[in-house]
Amino acid sequence: MAKAKIVETYSEKSYKGLYLWLVGLVSVMIGFGTLTSLIGAVSDKSEMIKIHLLLAAFMIWLLFYVILKTERIYFIYGISYERAKVAGSKRRNIFAHGYLRVFSFATLLYAMVGALSTVLAWPFMTDLAAFLFLYGIAVIKGSKISL
């Protein structure tokens, strides 16, 4: 008796999810800045910058979470749609999970630095330097994850 070959399907190539994330990122940043200015919730510009960096960190994490759930790994630089399609679901999932793990760690570390920075009243440049350093390292670590 011959075994039936399982045919795996992969969704059509579409960047709608990435575009939606970009619109969400811009909307969250502008919306938060506008709302807090209107209600006067954050009076210090350095605190506003710190909160925006934390929102950006969360949105970056959210992007990689969406990539994991949808397996649209071709959103990540260096992976073509054709390569992602041929890789198979299990390999796409492992690849996306690796990126999510790296960026989750960067987000968690940045949240801890941001909290410490707020408590100790560090200047916002410390937060910016920490953000750039942590996400720079995350990008380098992520680039070493192979499909």
Residue 6: what pLDDT? 55
Is the residue at 89 inside a domain?
yes
Return the pLDDT at 135: 98
Asked, for residue 81, whether it belongs to a domain, the answer is: yes
What pLDDT, on a 0 to 100 scale, did the predictor assign at position 39? 85
Spatial CB neighbours of 141, under 8 Å, sequence gap ≥ 6? 102
Could you tell me the residue range of the domain that residue 61 belongs to? 16-143
The answer to whether residue 10 sits within a structural domain is: no
User: How confident is the model at residue 44, as a pLDDT?
Assistant: 83
What domain count does the chain have? 1
Among residues 137, 116, 127, 141, the alpha carbon closest in space to that of 56 is found at 127
Residue whose C-alpha is closest to residue 106's, from 140, 74, 73: 140
**Is the pTM above the cut of 0.85?**
yes
Domain assignment present for residue 69? The answer is yes
pLDDT at 36: 86
- Nearest CA-CA partner of 45 in 128, 110, 115, 112: 128
**Residue 9, in any domain of the structure:** no
pLDDT given for residue 42 in this prediction: 77
Residuewise pLDDT in 10s, the chain (147 residues): 556 555 578 889 999 999 999 999 999 999 998 888 888 877 788 888 999 999 999 999 999 999 999 999 999 988 999 999 999 999 999 999 999 999 999 999 999 999 999 899 999 999 999 999 999 999 999 999 998
* Any domain includes 62: yes
The answer to the question of residue 42 being in a domain is yes
